[in-house]
Amino acid sequence: MKIGELAERTGVAASRIRFYERIGLLKPERQPNGYRSYSSQAVLVLNLIAAAQQAGFSLDEIRILLPPDLTQWQHSALIETLRGKVLDIEAMQTRLAQSKAHLVALLAEIEAKPDEMDCNANAKRVLSRMRLGEVKKPTLQAADVTTLRKAKRQQSLKSG
């Protein structure tokens, strides 16, 4: 099939399809007149790319994940890659939760501004206290992260 038909079938713009070809995710055959010719497998590849991107994979990760021929896909390698991505996301969630806890603590310090103090003086006060270690940096323990994950799961079950 030609690029226009592939774009229509998948909802992916022709320019994006050409981009995927340029970076090695799609490998169309060339007709004698130079036109690209895509197999029906290209539809599956584009759908896999979209699903992988929605799951948080970068294009470089997708390039590594996709075998040259989808019939050659290694089940164990796919499972290992997906599990690795779950671990990456969990580590990111932990870092984000720690960043959030730090910002919440900082916000509490800033909000605790004495009435007679202007914002500039309060900012200097908070920064000075941070520098001296008087503002405790909150840290999340493994149990905190587990609790956060459970709460997230329960929330998604209620909304889903």
What are 83-103's pLDDT values in tens digits? 999 999 999 999 999 888 888
* CB of 106 closer than 8 Å to CB of 135: yes
Confidence of residue 150 (pLDDT cuts 50, 70, 90): low
Q: What is the band of 64 on the pLDDT scale with cuts at 50, 70, 90?
A: confident
Contact 78, 65 (CB under 8 A): yes
pLDDT digits (tens, 9 = 90+) for 117-134: 998 898 888 888 888 887
Best CA proximity match to 38, nearest among 47, 27, 46, 49: 27
Average pLDDT estimate for 132-148: 65
Collapsing DSSP to helix, strand or coil, 94 comes out as helix
pTM of this prediction? 0.63
What is the rounded CA–CA span in Å between residue 143 and residue 62? 33
Residues 69-91 as b/e (b if ≥16 CB within 10 A, e otherwise) read eeeeeeeeeeeebeeebeeeeee
Q: Kindly report the number of other CB atoms within 10 A of residue 110's CB atom.
A: 13
Q: What whole-number distance in Å separates Cα of residue 79 and Cα of residue 112? A: 49
For the domain made up of 3-72, the CATH class stated in words is mainly alpha
3-state class (DSSP) for residue 62: helix
> Cα angle vertex 102, ends 101, 103, to 5°?
90
Spatial separation of the C-alpha atoms in residues 148 and 96, rounded to whole Å? 11
Tell me the domain boundaries of the chain: 3-72, 75-159
H or E element in which residue 113 lies:
none
Q: What is the pLDDT of residue 74?
A: 83
DSSP letter at 117 equals: S
Is the pLDDT confidence value at 147 over 70? no
Instruction: Pick the more confident residue, 109 or 62.
Output: 62
